Chain A
Amino acid sequence: LKNRLKVLRAERDWSQADLADRLEVSRQSVNAIETGKYDPSLPLAFRIARLFDLSIEQIFEDEV
Chain B
Amino acid sequence: VDPVTGASARRRYYVRLAAFVAVYVAIVVPVIWTFNRGLFPAPPVGYLVAALPALPVFGVIWAVLRYVVEEEDEFLRFLHLRGVVGATGLTLAVCTAWGFLGRFADVRQPSLMHVFTIFCALLLPALAWTHWRSR
Task: Verify that A and B bind, or say they do not.
Answer: yes
A44–B76 alpha-carbon span in the complex (Å): 13
A5–B131 alpha-carbon span in the complex (Å): 22
Counting CB contacts under 8 A, is A46 at the interface? no
Give the total number of A-B pairs whose CB atoms are below 8 A apart: 28
Interface string of B121-135 (1 = CB under 8 A from A): 000000000010011
A3–B19 alpha-carbon span in the complex (Å): 42
Q: Is the CB of B74 within 8 A of A28?
A: no
Counting CB contacts under 8 A, is A37 at the interface? yes
Interface of B: prevailing SS: helix
- Given the known inter-chain contacts A31-B134, A32-B134, please indicate yes or no for A26 contacting B76, CB distance below 8 A: yes
Q: Is the CB of A29 within 8 A of B74?
A: yes
A47–B135 alpha-carbon span in the complex (Å): 22
Interface string of B35-79 (1 = CB under 8 A from A): 000000000000000000000000000000000000011111011
Contacts of A38-56 to chain B: CB distance below 8 A: 38, 40-41, 44
Counting CB contacts under 8 A, is A8 at the interface? no
A44–B79 alpha-carbon span in the complex (Å): 16
Would you list the 9 A-B pairs with minimal beta carbon distance, nearest first? A29-B75, A28-B134, A26-B73, A25-B73, A32-B75, A32-B134, A38-B75, A41-B74, A26-B76
